[in-house]
Amino acid sequence: MSDHHHPTGIKRWLFTTNHKDIGTLYLWFSFIMLLIGGSMAMVIRAELFEPGMQVVEPNFFNMMTTMHGLIMVFGAIMPAFVGFANWLVPMMVGAPDMALPRMNNWSFWILPFAGTMLLMPMFMGGDFLQGQGPAFGWTFYEPLSGQYNKLGFFIFAVHLLGFSSIMGSINIIATILNMRAPGMTLMKMPLFVWTWLITAFLLIAVMPVLAGAVTMMLTDKYFGTSFFDAAGGGDPVLFQHVFWFFGHPEVYIMILPAFGIVSQIIPTFARKPLFGYASMVYATAAIAFLSFIVWAHHMFTVGMPVAGELYFMYATVMIAVPTAVKVFNWAATMWKGSMTFETPMLWAIAFVFLFTIGGFTGLMLGVAPADFQYHDTYFVVAHFHYVLVTGALFALIGGVYYWLPKWTGNMYSEKLGKLHFWLSTISVNVLFFPQHFIGLEGMPRRIPDYNPMFADWNMISSIGGFVFGASQLIFLYTVIKCIRGGEKATDQVWEGAEGLEWTIPSPAPYHTFETAPEVK
Amino acid sequence: MSASKTIKTLSRLLCAALLLGPAIANADYELNLMPGVTEISQMQYDLHMLVLWLVTVVGILVFGVMIYSIIKHRKSKGAQAAQFHESTTVEVIWTIIPFAILVAIAVPATKGLLEMEDTSKYDMSIKVTGIQWKWEYDYIDEDGVKFISQLDEASENARKLGSGVDVTTVENYLLDVDNPIVVPSNKRVRLLITAADVIHAWWVPDLGVKRDAIPGFINESWFYAEKEGTYRGQCAELCGKDHGFMPIVVKVVSQADYDAWVANQKAAASASAAEDTKTFGMDELMARGKGVYDKSCAACHGPTGAGVPGVFPAMAGSKITTGDIAAHIDIVVNGKPGTAMAAYRSQLSKADLAAVITYERNAFGNKTGDVVQPTDIK
């Protein structure tokens, strides 16, 4: 390999077109966002620790729930998966880099500006403590969001995030379809690559829909149109249809790559091939297809015709079939394996258990008559945190531990990794499991204060939340320690690991596969 | 229903044993949905329990297999990895089984949904309007029975940041209102639900009703309560700053009590109509205006008229409260579209409107000396 000239210092990161550098940028960006969004969750749990208002004003509380959701979805989870794709897709398919390296640079560098624009109104003019940032929920339903007088910042931030996601997706699709090594047929691709290929198509399909929704908000607010304003002949429910046509595929965008990561980790530590590779690919595609035709199950109470409610109920519960196929496959992969339980495997196993609980409550929510009781309560909050925190985030953390030795060349501390795992897994259940009970008992979501009958579980949930939040600092410490040094990793790293990324040295050299490998 | 009671007891024990054994000793730790008091809420509860049990059984089986392999098939116990994979038979079976379970759920769910959404029959109708942050109820079969229902004073005072009140001493904290809605038992009550500003949702769990209140649309829902009693609920759709503070209270009473209540309401309405042409003194208007302001305006514009900088405008020294009287009346009566400022025409009587405008023009250091009379409100 020739010694390649590239800039150093800040310029290396600003001008980089290297997929590994860009992957690293994405991962650090999303971790910072995770800490910011997490701090907001701490404010929420502090206010809900006891009944009565103790910490913040109601509007500030609404701003916290809103910004927490937006930051976690658009700032933490989505960019983290793009970071993984950048690091791993070229290495997994035997490509030297991403297909469109300059666009890759741009799709990352839009993000810090978009994030800043999203956060900015919180600190502009007026009184910070009264909550002057977006406070209309991460779903920004009209007409409530239209009442907000700094809406433009939010709209342009969403547009920028959309540009970034679409460019990232184009790049991933182009890389996977055009840059695979000879012999790497589609049905030989690692499952992580498959799930990202499907996710990228979902992103390209729905991000423009989101852009359309916020553009209509923009013209309603500033140019006198009435898309969502009934007084001008518009339809507030139209907003929800458009939003959820984006929003439902969006939740799969955040979980399909997690399925991919878990499908890499479990076979490695079970030392046994994935039970049904082909059916996993088909199940992923089926879930992606279904995600487009179930959106209105988020809106059972808006007053749809009963035929519509029946259709959306049937289509929604159907998702349980391909999802069950996936869970059965992971269980069958572990069955009669020769398992060891290094940190990545612990996170992957916890993912399968806890994501499945989120799937179960998802099925319950899909049953329309019962959803009329669950809708907009803490039961829903518990459900989507089981799929997004113990689902998406757990897979991401497991993935970091799994590939960290390949990225840094050093082994992380198993002791710290396991401490991080056990603290997180116990506390996350103390945090979210009681929220099922609070919701069934009748506590609506997005309220800053509540009747004392909800007090007991709220306090337990808050305690779990504080411990879970603090545990993530162990993660930060463990990762930094691993970057700085540690026991040297072998090329293979894990005894059972298979795939092209484990054939190159650890740490992965700056340029890999400049000559394409042969895949048999 | 004794079967569901057994199920409830069992599920509580199960949850307790599995999760938080020690914490459960306190009876307050409620775990499950309530069956409520209507056939619909009972149907929702039964469906909830059906699906909960199905997923519990599936969960025990799947998690059981995984836990078994985690214990038995580990390398440290000398387990050798089998290399089997791909089996069409197995995969067909585990696709068909979940599908069959879904059909078993869909049948009762369809029946329940059709029953729930049948709004064709009703004995009486109430129009429910969600307003930031209160509810307006209009008994459309009873002339003049129309009122605003909002958080009661005890909760309102206690819920302020730094109020110093121990909220556990406030009865029905955040779940009590000044004017509850009253309906007769054994009547099918149709609700026509809409909103004046943003989307709200009218939810009373015991009645099995949750329905979005959407500006420009009228949604229908219904309930039939046999058991007399007081049933409480809350707004379920985020509707701005005080979303958490707009409860719903429904009193189901006997037909005789209901008739008496209606007569009372009508008498009060005609008394209030008589005030529309009366002329009040300044002091009278100021005293009354303060009461109206504290209840209807202070939530946004602040008890001292300071507003919330950058969010809600101040009353003290503002162009509107110290400027043209007609413009001031207009914004209070007709609201300001596209903002949280509601049209108070339908919410307050002319006397109350006159009083609150007079108050705003002469309180918070505004010294216009203007007096607005009910007859000034067009």
Q: Percent of chain A, pLDDT > 70?
A: 99
- Give how far B375 is from chain A: nearest CA, Å: 28
A250 is catalytic: yes
Distance CA(B335)–CA(B341), nearest Å, equals 5
The predicted pLDDT at position B308 comes to 80
Is B74 near chain A, with CB under 8 Å?
yes
Q: What are phi and psi of B175, to 5 degrees?
A: -120, 20
Q: By three-state DSSP, how is residue B146 classified? A: strand
The predicted pLDDT at position B269 comes to 86
Average pLDDT over residues B96-104: 93
- Out of A21, A47, A97, A501, pick the active-site residue: A97
Chosen from A372, A375, A446, A461 to mutate, greatest number of chain B CBs within 10 A: A372
pLDDT at A28 over 90: yes
Chain B residues touching A455 at Cβ < 8 A? 28, 168
Chain A neighbours among B 228-267 (CB < 8 Å)? 233-245
Chain A residues touching B173 at Cβ < 8 A? 51, 451-452
pLDDT tier for residue B9 given thresholds of 50, 70 and 90: low
Helix (H) or strand (E) holding B233, with range, is strand B229-235
Average pLDDT over residues B79-94: 86
Q: Do A237 and B214 touch (CB under 8 A)?
A: yes
Chain A neighbours among B 131-150 (CB < 8 Å)? none
Pairs across A and B, CB distance < 8 A: 317
The predicted pLDDT at position A1 comes to 43
Structure tokens at A465: 């939340």
The predicted pLDDT at position B1 comes to 40
Chain A residues touching B310 at Cβ < 8 A? 124-127, 130, 132, 149
Chain A residues touching B90 at Cβ < 8 A? 332
Q: What single-letter DSSP state applies at residue A144?
A: T
The predicted pLDDT at position B78 comes to 87
Chain A residues touching B80 at Cβ < 8 A? 338
Closest partner CB to B244 (pick from A58, A131, A334): A58
The predicted pLDDT at position B337 comes to 77
Read off the pLDDT of residues A103-133 as tens digits, 9 standing for 90 and up.
999 999 999 999 999 999 999 877 788 888 9
The predicted pLDDT at position B24 comes to 40
Closest partner CB to A144 (pick from B41, B198, B217): B198
Q: Do A143 and B112 touch (CB under 8 A)?
A: no
Beta strand segments in B132-213, E: 134-139, 146-149, 181-184, 188-195, 200-204, 209-213
pLDDT at A415 over 80: yes
- Out of A298, A385, A420, A436, pick the active-site residue: A298
Structure tokens at A185: 């047929």
pLDDT at A214 over 90: yes
pLDDT at A59 over 60: yes
Q: Do A353 and B161 touch (CB under 8 A)?
A: no
Read off the pLDDT of residues A426-483 as tens digits, 9 standing for 90 and up.
999 999 999 999 999 999 999 999 999 999 999 999 999 999 999 999 999 999 999 9
One-letter amino acid of B196: A
A420 is catalytic: no
Q: Do A449 and B159 touch (CB under 8 A)?
A: yes
Burial A377-410 (b: 16+ CB within 10 A, else e): bbbbbbbbbbbbbbbbbbbbbbbbbbbbbbbbbb
pLDDT tier for residue A70 given thresholds of 50, 70 and 90: very high
Average pLDDT over residues B91-102: 91
pLDDT at B14 over 70: no
Q: What is the ipTM of this complex?
A: 0.92
- Out of A326, A375, A383, A406, pick the active-site residue: A326
Closest partner CB to A306 (pick from B117, B173, B214): B117
Residues 6+ apart with CB under 8 A from A392: A77, A81, A254, A255, A258
Could you give the C-alpha distances from B10 to A338, A458, B5, B6, B32, in angstroms and in order? Answer: 37, 24, 9, 6, 11
Closest residue of chain A to B63, computed from CA coordinates: A353
A277 is catalytic: no
Q: Tell me what the pLDDT averaged over chain B comes to.
A: 89
Read off the pLDDT of residues A239-256 as tens digits, 9 standing for 90 and up.
999 999 999 999 999 999
- Give how far A80 is from chain B: nearest CA, Å: 29
The predicted pLDDT at position B309 comes to 77
A97 is catalytic: yes
Chain B residues touching A279 at Cβ < 8 A? 91
Chain A residues touching B233 at Cβ < 8 A? 442
Chain A residues touching B114 at Cβ < 8 A? 306
- Give how far B142 is from chain A: nearest CA, Å: 26
Is B82 near chain A, with CB under 8 Å?
yes
pLDDT at B130 over 80: yes
According to DSSP, the residues that pair with B248 across neighbouring strands are B233
Read off the pLDDT of residues B20-36 as tens digits, 9 standing for 90 and up.
444 444 446 888 999 99
Chain A residues touching B220 at Cβ < 8 A? 303
Q: Is A362 exposed, middle or buried (0-12, 13-18, 19+ CB in 10 A)?
A: buried
Higher pLDDT residue, B335 or A101? A101
Cα A105 from chain centroid (whole Å): 21
The predicted pLDDT at position B23 comes to 42
Q: By three-state DSSP, how is residue B248 classified? A: strand
Chain B residues touching A444 at Cβ < 8 A? 203, 234-236, 244
Distance CA(A137)–CA(A444), nearest Å, equals 13
Q: Is B93 exposed, middle or buried (0-12, 13-18, 19+ CB in 10 A)?
A: exposed
Average pLDDT over residues B93-97: 91
The predicted pLDDT at position B29 comes to 81
Chain A neighbours among B 261-290 (CB < 8 Å)? none
The predicted pLDDT at position A2 comes to 46
A4 is catalytic: no
Chain A neighbours among B 5-64 (CB < 8 Å)? 15, 19-20, 23, 26, 28-34, 40-41, 43-45, 47-48, 51-52, 55, 58-59, 62-63
Closest partner CB to B73 (pick from A141, A338, A375): A338
Is B306 near chain A, with CB under 8 Å?
no
Helices (H), A120-228: 151-178, 191-222
Average pLDDT over residues A316-345: 95
A445 is catalytic: yes
pLDDT at A55 over 80: yes
Read off the pLDDT of residues B322-376 as tens digits, 9 standing for 90 and up.
888 989 999 999 888 777 888 888 888 888 999 999 999 998 988 888 889 988 8
pLDDT at A302 over 60: yes
Closest residue of chain B to A495, computed from CA coordinates: B75
Read off the pLDDT of residues B200-251 as tens digits, 9 standing for 90 and up.
999 999 999 999 999 999 999 999 999 999 999 999 999 999 999 999 999 9
The predicted pLDDT at position B296 comes to 87
The predicted pLDDT at position B50 comes to 96
Structure tokens at A300: 């059972």
pLDDT at A166 over 90: yes
The predicted pLDDT at position A131 comes to 82
The predicted pLDDT at position B26 comes to 42
Q: Do A453 and B30 touch (CB under 8 A)?
A: yes
Q: Tell me what the pLDDT averaged over chain A comes to.
A: 95
Chosen from B53, B66, B132, B221 to mutate, greatest number of chain A CBs within 10 A: B66
Q: Do B99 and A321 touch (CB under 8 A)?
A: yes
pLDDT at B192 over 70: yes
The predicted pLDDT at position B10 comes to 54
